[in-house]
Amino acid sequence: MNVRTATPLEPCGPSNHEDCGLRLILGRLGEQWTVMTLAELSAGPRRYRELERALEGISQRMMTLTLRRLERDGHVLRHVAPTVPPSVTYELSDLGRSFADHIAGLVAWSRRYKWEIEMAQAAYDTHPEI
Amino acid sequence: MNVRTATPLEPCGPSNHEDCGLRLILGRLGEQWTVMTLAELSAGPRRYRELERALEGISQRMMTLTLRRLERDGHVLRHVAPTVPPSVTYELSDLGRSFADHIAGLVAWSRRYKWEIEMAQAAYDTHPEI
DNA sequence: CAGCATCCTCTATGATACTG
DNA sequence: CAGTATCATAGAGGATGCTG
């Protein structure tokens, strides 16, 4: 017997699940560094190199791409100080902070149920249930 | 002046953002049909063909792959009725329902801020700010 | 009905080298 | 420092045909 949720995930239309703009937002979460970048920026503004060091293992290419996409989506603000050498600072916009707040819940959930999911995967992989 | 969130997205360790299992969960969201599949299943159990019809545009390949991954992660339960032709029903597990509840919030957020994001993108694309 | 197998394309991501 | 440019790989995802 499965308890139904009070508020089931609502489709976009009447039995219509066409892309109602969800991928626009959720697609970002599929990108490896987006969540970590938002996590780091949610603690305060960061310079390019600071982010790069915090997200150990990220390539320059992906650091720049991730920041550009977040900036394009309006989640991140980019400030350039015309010094030599240049100093570029990134920080969350209000929209980005709102976004980060929401995915924070998902991140917490992920941490909490990581074990259950790993167990389920292990069980699935060992059983020849396919 | 930017208001800080009460609970900033917490890194995995002290300034350590290595993959702490987040991709395990969040990676699924990057897959185009996962959210829609969970949405459909959150309304109740569905047979394979019912899902396929609800998620208009999905290929058989992706329908199967998405269900297999969700099943492997323990989000979805698969019931096979050994009839001819076979009848296979999918439904959310308790874990899957918990997961669906959390992403429902994100989906609602996506709908609400879709416009802002599209505006930000349009502004970014027109301005030669690069 | 509920898949699996094969071929093909596009994007995410990494590695490396170069620059104002 | 803060990038850009180029080359290369893996997996997402689609199209099509076949099967118990």
Output the DSSP codes for chain B: --PPPSSPPPPSBTTB-S--SHHHHHHHHHSTTHHHHHHHHTTS-EEHHHHHHHSTT--HHHHHHHHHHHHHTTSEEEEEE--SS-EEEEEE-HHHHHHHHHHHHHHHHHHHHHHHHHHHHHHHHHS---
Contacts of A63 (CB under 8 A, 6+ apart): A33, A48, A51, A52, A55
Is the preceding omega at residue A8 within 30 degrees of 0, hence cis? no
Chain A from 28 to 47: CB within 8 A of any B CB: 29-32, 35-36, 38-40, 42-44
pLDDT band for A3, please (50, 70, 90 cuts): very low
Alpha helices in chain A (DSSP H): 22-30, 34-41, 48-54, 60-72, 94-126
Q: Do B17 and A54 touch (CB under 8 A)?
A: yes
Per-residue model confidence (pLDDT) at position B126: 87
pLDDT at residue A101 is higher than 50: yes
pTM for the whole thing? 0.84
pLDDT top residue among A65 and A6:
A65
Give me the pLDDT at residue A15, please.
41
**B105 against B96, higher pLDDT:** B96
Percent of chain A at pLDDT above 70?
Answer: 79
Average pLDDT over residues A100-125: 89
More reliable by pLDDT, B118 or B24: B118
How distant is C1' of D16 from CA of A18, in Å? 23
Span B74-94, average pLDDT = 96
Contact (CB, 8 A) for B63 and B33: yes
Task: List protein-proximal bases of chain C (any atom < 7 A from a CB).
Answer: 1-6, 12-17, 20
**Per-residue pLDDT band at B128 (split at 50, 70, 90):** low
Residue B64: name the closest of B84, B90, B100, B97 by CA: B90
Residue A23 in this model has a pLDDT that exceeds 90: no
pLDDT > 70: percent of chain B: 79
Note the CATH architecture for domain B22-121.
Orthogonal Bundle (1.10)
In angstroms, the CA B104 to CA B102 distance is 5
B16 has a pLDDT exceeding 70: no
CA distance B35 to B29: 6
Partner residue opposite A25 with nearest CB, options B54, B94, B110: B110
Instruction: Tell me the nt nearest to B84, Cα to C1'.
Output: C1
CB contacts of B97 in chain A (<8 Å) are: 2-3, 5
Taking residues A25-29, what's their average pLDDT?
80
Average pLDDT in chain B: 83
Which pLDDT score is estimated for B52? 94
Beta-carbon separation of B5 and A100 below 8 A = yes
Mean pLDDT of the B32-49 span: 93
Residues of A in contact with B105 (CB under 8 A): 102, 105
- Give the number of beta-carbon pairs within 8 Å between A and B: 214
